[in-house]
Amino acid sequence: MPDRVLELAIVGRSNVGKSSLINALANRKKLAKTSKTPGATQLINVYELSPEGSGHWLVDLPGYGFAKAPKQELERWRRMIEEYLMESKSLGGTIVLIDSLVGPTELDLQMVDWLDHIDLPYRFVATKSDKVRSSKSSKRRQELTSKLGVDKSDVLWVSADSGSGIPQLRSEIVNYFGSDD
């Protein structure tokens, strides 16, 4: 391990597109395992930004929510995610993913409350923007931001499939890590 590490974790409901987003950011197809079936990511996976040894880590977490797993497994994941978010000393912030089409779920709102409670900063990113028809886009964006209780400009809309919004998110991430130097 490098002497000093700074982490940025990707948080969100199972199937919201966390692992796909990491692949899009890295411009790789199969770096992080993705799946149509919720529960693809079952461990905490760490991706280091270049150069090797930079200590700048993007962290892919298992998702909360409707993963088709035995109750005991779900509970184990929940504890793993919560313990990681609470206890990692080098975690500086999170990206909270919200599905553009589904909008914030009860569990998403609970997670945000909890992040506020433990005082961990977050950035909202809405995933799968390609799935929202352009005629519905402005209404959908308004609904999503008002449910989150934030301004329009507080949510970045991205699509891992079309690549829309990815360059902006990539540059925000570079800035986040850059401010560490």
Ligand X SMILES: Nc1nc2c(ncn2[C@@H]2O[C@H](COP(=O)(O)OP(=O)(O)OP(=O)(O)O)[C@@H](O)[C@H]2O)c(=O)[nH]1
Of 41, 45, 127, 159, which one interacts with Mg ion (CB under 5 A)? 41
Of 8, 11, 40, 59, which one interacts with ligand X (CB under 6 A)? 40
Coil vs helix vs strand at 21 = helix
Position of minimal CB gap to ligand X? 63
If you count them, how many residues does the chain have? 181
Instruction: Provide, rounded to whole angstroms, the least separation between the CB of residue 92 and Mg ion.
Output: 21
26 vs 23: CA distance, rounded Å: 5
Instruction: Provide, rounded to whole angstroms, the least separation between the CB of residue 57 and ligand X.
Output: 17
Binding mask 18-37 for ligand X (x = CB under 6 A): xxx-------------xxx-
Residues 123-152 that bind ligand X (CB under 6 A): 127-128, 130-131
Residues 74-113 that bind ligand X (CB under 6 A): none
Q: What share of the chain is helix, strand, coil (3-state, %, to 5)?
A: 40, 20, 40
**Cβ–Cβ under 8 Å, residues 34 and 42:** no
- As to burial, measured by CB atoms within 10 angstroms (0-12 exposed, 13-18 middle, 19+ buried), residue 96 is buried
- φ, ψ for residue 62 (rounded to 5)? -65, 155
Q: Smaller CB distance to ligand X: residue 23 or 145?
A: 23
Segment lying near Mg ion (by CB under 5 A), choices 10-18, 43-51, 70-78, 163-171? 10-18
Tokens of 110: 């609970």
Choose from ligand X, Mg ion, none: what does 140 bind? Cβ within 5-8 Å by kind.
none
Closest by alpha carbon to 128, among 20, 7, 5? 20
Choose from Mg ion, ligand X, none: what does 148 bind? Cβ within 5-8 Å by kind.
none
Closest by alpha carbon to 80, among 37, 120, 43? 43
20 binds Mg ion (CB under 5 A): no
- φ, ψ for residue 129 (rounded to 5)? -60, -20
Binding residues for ligand X (CB under 6 A): 12, 14-20, 34-36, 38-41, 62-63, 67, 127-128, 130-131, 159-161
Binding residues for Mg ion (CB under 5 A): 18-19, 40-41
